[in-house]
Structure 1
Amino acid sequence: MKTNCEIMEITDEKLLRIALVTSLIGIIGLIAFTPTIEVKEVDIKDINRAMIDEEVRITGVITDIAQSSSKTSYFLTVNDGEAQIQLIIFENQVAEIQSKNLDIENFKNRQVEIVGTVTQYNSEMELILSSGDSLRIVN
């Protein structure tokens, strides 16, 4: 009579097949569900501490642009008519934007759409730009 160990012997080949099938199922799932993942669009006044680390989409006018003392990052003030928030653009996103022949200063007084991650600094809510493609002029 065979023991359970002899019946359920897992070989490298069986393990490889299991890993391959599991990977394929995961990839198919990602392909199927990725288009349905949408960034939540919010008004600036509705951004709160419960949303920290969430990615959101806002629309507003860039009313002020300041550069960091190291000259590598930018701080943009975005106003949607009811509230305003600070948008932080770090060095790597600045480089992405500039690689498209755009200057950060050109966004001033322009209506923009922004996708960013909500964060808090000195008790103030802020957005960190998700990527260089996440800041675009809409008007």
Structure 2
Amino acid sequence: MDITDDKLVKIALVTSLIGLIGLIMFTPSIEVKEVKIKDIDRGMIDEEVSINCVVSDIKSSKSGSSYFLTISDGTGQMPLVIFESQVAQMQTNNLDIKDFKDKKVNVVGKITEYNNEMEIVLSEGDSLKILN
């Protein structure tokens, strides 16, 4: 059996379509892992996680464009960093960061390390939600 250019193109096309269909089917099932603060370690750097916690403190950067929140979930506490782009998204949705103080929230963000301390960086402006 000879493989011609036409057959090769058809095989590539069919393989690509199968791959795209697989991506479309399995993408909704990819979920962010929910963790406790005490379980976060250096092996989780660059991993996106979800934490149910309480915002115990809110501080802004010197420029006022970024915020540093202290979150705790009963197992520990850690800083949550909200950069200027996420702050702008929150303001577009009429959310004020100060409204989150002492509220139970769900945070979705990426684990990072800064000055030998683990922290979480908010993924998107809508990744910080108040829980009932």
TM-score by length of structure 2 reads 0.90
For the residue of structure 2 that corresponds to 1:133, the secondary structure is coil
Say yes or no: does 1:93 pair with 2:83. no
User: What's the % identity of the aligned pairs?
Assistant: 59
Name the structure 1 match of 2:23.
30
Deviations 1:5-40, CA, capped at 9 Å, x for gaps: xx43425x953x444333322221111111221111
For the residue of structure 2 that corresponds to 1:77, the secondary structure is strand
Say yes or no: does 1:62 pair with 2:55. yes
Greater than 6 Å deviation, 4+ residue runs:
none
Partners in 2 of 1:116 and 1:44 — Cα distance? 13
Name the structure 1 match of 2:14.
21
Which one-letter code corresponds to 1:52 in the other structure?
I
Of 54, 76, 83, which residue of structure 2 is paired with 1:83? 76
Name the structure 2 match of 1:8.
3
Partners in 2 of 1:128 and 1:44 — Cα distance? 14
Name the structure 2 match of 1:112.
105
For the residue of structure 2 that corresponds to 1:112, the secondary structure is strand
Pick closer, same or farther for the CA change 1:68–1:19 going to 2, 3 Å: farther
Of 72, 75, 93, which residue of structure 1 is paired with 2:65? 72
Unaligned 5+ runs, structure 1: none
TM-score by length of structure 1 reads 0.86
Name the structure 2 match of 1:39.
32
For the residue of structure 1 that corresponds to 2:126, the secondary structure is helix
Which one-letter code corresponds to 1:8 in the other structure?
I
Deviations 1:85-119, CA, capped at 9 Å, x for gaps: 10111111111111111101111111000111101
Name which one, 1 or 2, has greater alpha-carbon Rg.
1
**Over the residues paired in the alignment, what is the CA RMSD in angstroms?**
1.7
Which one-letter code corresponds to 1:88 in the other structure?
V
Give the paired residue count.
Answer: 132
Unaligned 5+ runs, structure 2: none
Say yes or no: does 1:133 pair with 2:126. yes
